[in-house]
Amino acid sequence: MNLLLIRLIIFAVLFFAGLKLYRMYREWKLDRDGPQQDGDQGNRMVRCRWCQVHLPEDDALRERGDWFCSGEHRDKYLAERKEEQKEENKQERDD
């Protein structure tokens, strides 16, 4: 009975050591090879600043570091920002 228990413990230790070595090897290989590039560079998803809808980067418009789903949303957002800046400037002058 004691011999069976010792064999079971040794087997468990060897199994977990092998599993750990396999995971270390897999991580090392991923680090060495770098990220996989399947040609999906343009399929990153971005969010429209106006309506918060996600869309592929290829279909989106970019203006001043922000992404938009259409020219209409870009124009609305920029007009709103312009109004906010006018109000801030007016409040600063009043102070």
Q: Give the pLDDT confidence of 26-46 residue by residue, as tens digits.
A: 988 888 876 665 555 557 899
Q: Which domain holds residue 6?
A: 1-31
Do 27 and 51 belong together in one domain?
A: no
Q: Cβ of 85: how many Cβ atoms within 10 Å?
A: 10
**Number of domains observed in the structure of the chain:** 2
Query: What is the token pair recorded at 35?
Result: 């990220």
For residue range 6-29, list pLDDT tens digits in order: 999 999 999 999 999 999 999 888
Helix H or strand E segment including 45: strand 45-47
Global pTM exceeds 0.85: no
Do 25 and 53 belong together in one domain?
A: no
Task: Supply φ then ψ for residue 52, to 5 degrees.
Answer: 65, 20
Cβ proximity of 51 and 79 under 8 Å? no
Give a yes or no: residue 59 inside a domain. Answer: yes
Q: How far apart are CA 74 and CA 95, in angstroms?
A: 32
